[in-house]
Amino acid sequence: MKDFKSSIPENFEIKIKNQVISRNNFTLIAGPCTIENYDDLLTIVNKLKKLGIKFFRGGAYKMRTSPYKFQGLGQKGLEYMRRVSAETGMISVSEVIAPEDVETVSNNIDILQVGTRNMHNYRLLKRLGEIDNPVILKRGMSSTIEEWLFAAEHIIAAGNSQVILCERGIRTFENFTRNTLDISAIPAVRSLSNLPVLIDPSHSSGRRDMIKSLSWAAMAAGADGLMIETHFSPDTTVCDSEQTIDFPMLETIISPLNDIVAKLWNKKGI
Ligand code: PEP
Ligand code: MN
């Protein structure tokens, strides 16, 4: 296998606003699957801020399996993300789905996300190599770890080394869960690469009742962060409601976080 460590130095840090994403920090990103309106987004982000969280997510462009389902607010969603970020000082994360959208998304959003369905979209990856924003690269649902690391190389080789990997579950024969969370991807990435790696327990399980266990498993296994779909009213959200958790659950998940990541991995918590 290629030596992926040679592309990125050890103790590599991604600095965004006053925060650092790295192997020595734990990064927590939470927020709704999709942005529905300005007021709800602001309410959610203020609640996250109160919990000490610095990063929020929200989809403006959605890659939905069905073309008949809500596809996101698009440009309007980006504008809501930008305004909420300016008002709260929180760092925004949102997905970009096409090379031609990279410029507008990068002008409105702090960290751009590549979704699982686009991990192999090399033109999109190359375009993301030309911007200054950090990029969260989700693992393709049927991709090997090597293919995922090569996808990251496409962004790095094109000029942007600020790549954050995110394991979000892979396709297996099991259908009790939406996907199968590959916890072994964490130690694998740690040994093969110097990039930080996050876990997304939401899209991997597709089940609200598993988010706590999988999040704690990720912390214990050495993940550098989590991205969790969260809303004040999960049952009434238009997208991924079954896997979205509420704020009391998020608080439960966070409560042992700083102790676990400091004791087991010597990482700075949130
Ligand atoms: C998301 O995080 O909003 C998303 C669509 O995730 P994935 O690409 O992993 O399905
Ligand atoms: Mn979702």
CB 50 within 8 A of CB 270: no
Residue 205, domain extent: 22-265
Please compute, for residue 208, the number of CA atoms within 13 A of its CA located in the half-sphere on the CB side: 16
- Within-domain flag for 38: yes
What pLDDT shows up at residue 3? Answer: 86
Q: pTM value? A: 0.98
* Residue ranges of the chain whose pLDDT lies below 50: none
Domain membership of residue 10 (yes or no) is no
Query: Is residue 1, in this structure, part of any structural domain at all?
Result: no
Residue 208 lies in a domain: yes
Tell whether 13 is covered by a domain: no
Give pLDDT tens digits for 32-77.
999 999 999 999 999 999 999 999 999 999 999 999 999 999 999 9
Specify if 14 maps to a domain: no
pLDDT in tens, 145-165: 999 999 999 999 999 999 999
What was the pLDDT predicted at 188? 98
Q: Let me know if residue 8 belongs to a domain.
A: no
Question: Which of 29, 63, 105 to probe ligand 1 with, by most ligand atoms within 8 A of CB?
Answer: 63
Pocket of ligand 1 (CB under 6 A): 33, 59, 63, 95, 115-116, 138, 168, 203
Q: How far is the CA of 202 from the centre of ligand 1 (A)?
A: 9
Q: What is the CATH number of the domain that holds 99?
A: 3.20.20.70
In a domain, 209, yes or no: yes
For the chain, the domain total comes to 1
